[in-house]
């Protein structure tokens, strides 16, 4: 049991500490990933051609920016590691709980991925229609009236938007493989 755990006086204190540690862990994972990516790009930018008659080569500006990014990431990681160490260990199911809390966002992102994949095949109209209905259903349109509204909104925003862009703005949205 570390100092922080001993100092946690109430369940809400404990919950706050767990949240701080979870956040710190998330930030460390993200910043380490970014730092690795930036170091890789920094090395790659080193092979970009330099100019004979200009003081800066192709890779100079990106390398300056990438060097700054690596430094900023390093400093953020150092700060977050301090927070992480100071707080008690997370319960075993913390990650599962976090994923469950973000299920709506993940669900919408998943549906959006399917929507983009479907556009070249089904066309804009027929991929946006199910996307809009499924999304509204996922976010809470479960009763008869809600579903009716969801279908009406989906029809207007898929067929209506397609017609608006085609006939008024003369911009053709994807029509799919069968059109």
Residues forming the site for another protein (CB under 8 A): 23, 26-27, 30-31, 38, 41, 44-45, 48-49, 51, 54-56, 58-59, 61-62, 65-66, 68-69, 72-73, 75-76, 79, 101-102, 104-105, 108-109, 112-113, 115-116, 119-120, 124, 128, 131-132, 135-136, 139-141, 146, 149-150, 153, 157-158, 161, 165, 168-174
Which residues does 22 contact at the CB level (< 8 Å), separation at least 6? 90, 94, 98
- Residues 138 and 104: beta-carbon distance below 8 Å: yes
- Rounded Cα gap, residues 61 and 54, in angstroms: 13
For residue 164, what are its two tokens? Answer: 């608006």
Closest separation in Å from C-beta 78 to another protein: 10
Helical residues (DSSP H) of 46-88, grouped into ranges: 60-86
Closest separation in Å from C-beta 175 to another protein: 12
- Rounded Cα gap, residues 143 and 110, in angstroms: 23
Closest separation in Å from C-beta 104 to another protein: 5
Closest separation in Å from C-beta 164 to another protein: 8
């Amino acid at each position: 049991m570390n100092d922080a755990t001993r100092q946690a006086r109430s369940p809400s204190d404990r919950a706050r500490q767990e949240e701080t540690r979870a956040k710190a862990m998330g930030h460390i994972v993200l910043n380490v990933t970014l730092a690795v990516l930036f170091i890789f790009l920094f090395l790659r930018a080193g092979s970009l051609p330099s100019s004979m008659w200009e003081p800066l080569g192709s890779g100079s500006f990106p390398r300056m920016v990438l060097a700054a990014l690596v430094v900023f990431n390093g400093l953020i990681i150092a700060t977050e590691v301090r927070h992480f160490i100071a707080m008690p260990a997370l319960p075993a199911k913390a990650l599962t709980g976090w994923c469950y809390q973000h299920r709506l966002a993940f669900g919408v992102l998943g549906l959006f991925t399917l929507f983009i994949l479907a556009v070249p095949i089904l066309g804009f109209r027929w991929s946006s229609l199910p996307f809009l209905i499924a999304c509204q259903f996922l976010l809470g349109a479960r009763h008869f009236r809600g579903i009716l509204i969801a279908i009406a909104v989906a029809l207007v925003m898929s067929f209506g938007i397609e017609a608006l862009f085609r006939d008024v703005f003369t911009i053709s949205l994807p029509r799919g493989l069968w059109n």
